[in-house]
Amino acid sequence: MSLGDIITQVVEIVLSIAAGFIALLALNLRRALVDRAYKARALWTAVGALTIISLFLANYADTIYNVGTINLADVVVETTVWGFTFLGLFGWIVSNANVAIHADYFNRDALAWKRGGMIASTVFIVGLFIFYNFPPWLEPPPIANATGWGGIVDNVASDLSYVIIFYAAAVIAISYRRISDLRIKTYTKWVVASMASLFLSFVLPPFVTIVPAVLWVFCMYRTVGALAIRTRKLPS
């Protein structure tokens, strides 16, 4: 193991501890809040923080399980970790799009999100995950692999999933401009920054991905801080 690998692992462990702490803060807030919509937002923020840990674990799982013989337990663990990361992040984005629309006094439904957009996106993303993680013994015959249809389906599915993520991000961005509540505006700003850091971690070359990971954890910390204003000294 090289020095670079050791440093990366140490940083990932530190970031995972920080992410766990962020999730704990969000869950504590959830317990204190009364309104259901805001409780849900705090819960999804905790899930969003935990996906930081699960993404690290998923990358390790890929490294470990892709060497030697693959057994069913390996597949189940890898699928579960990736499932939590993938669906957790999507759920976090969806909950934030809902909050952004909810915070607009005029209830303007950006890009028909509440009129079917959210449900269609969720069904597609969850369906996509299930399709690609179908238990092998239930898997339908490959779609004419010989003719290359499988590859086309993969590409279309992958492109559509990017379209959906950008759709949800666009809903948040449009709603952000319409929010009058400065606190929710600040919160949404950090959510967008977190999403941007996450996006960077996917597009940057592997040797610099730790930088957006640090940014991601920092932005998630600020997101939790902006969830609700807390006071340590009650006025008399």
Partner 1 sequence: MVSTGVPTLDQILNDGYPDKSSILVLGQSGLGKQALGYWFTKSGLTQGDYCLYVTHKPVTDVTRDMKGFGIGSDRVPEWIASSGSPVKCDLRDSTSISYNIKQALARNADRRIRVVTDILSPLLVLNPSESMYSYWSQLVDEAKRYDAVILALGDEEMHTPATIAAMEQLFDGVLELKLFEEGLSVTTVLRVRQMLGQPPLHGWFRFSFVHGMMEVTPNVTR
User: Which has the closest alpha carbon to 181: 100, 95, 94?
Assistant: 100
How far is the CA of 228 from the CAs of 88, 138, 193, 231, in angstroms? 22, 46, 18, 10
* Residue 61 vs 179, nearer CB to partner 1: 179
* Residue 32 vs 156, nearer CB to partner 1: 32
- Amino acid letter, 212: P
* Residue 136 vs 232, nearer CB to partner 1: 232
**Distance between CA atoms of residues 194 and 198, nearest Å:** 6
Q: Does 38 bind partner 1 (CB under 8 A)?
A: yes
- Cβ contact 125:91 at 8 Å: no
Distance in Å, CB of 235 to partner 1, minimum: 9
DSSP string, 103-169: T-TT---GGGIIIIIHHHHHHHHHHHHHHHT--GGGPPPPS-GGGTHHHHHHHHHHHHHHHHHHHHH
Among 67, 72, 203, 234, binds partner 1 (CB under 8 A): 234
In this chain, which stretch among 20-28, 45-53, 61-69, 81-89 interacts with partner 1, using CB under 8 A? 20-28
Binding string, 120-159, against partner 1, x = CB under 8 A?
Answer: ----------------------------------------
Distance in Å, CB of 78 to partner 1, minimum: 33
In this chain, which stretch among 161-169, 170-178, 211-219, 224-232 interacts with partner 1, using CB under 8 A? 224-232
Nearest 5 degrees, angle CA 182-CA 188-CA 190?
110
**Distance between CA atoms of residues 53 and 59, nearest Å:** 10
In this chain, which stretch among 68-76, 140-148, 174-182, 210-218 interacts with partner 1, using CB under 8 A? 174-182
Per rule CB under 8 A, count of chain residues that contact partner 1? 31
Residues contributing to the site for partner 1 (CB under 8 A): 24-25, 28-29, 31-39, 41, 102-103, 105-107, 180-184, 228-232, 234, 236
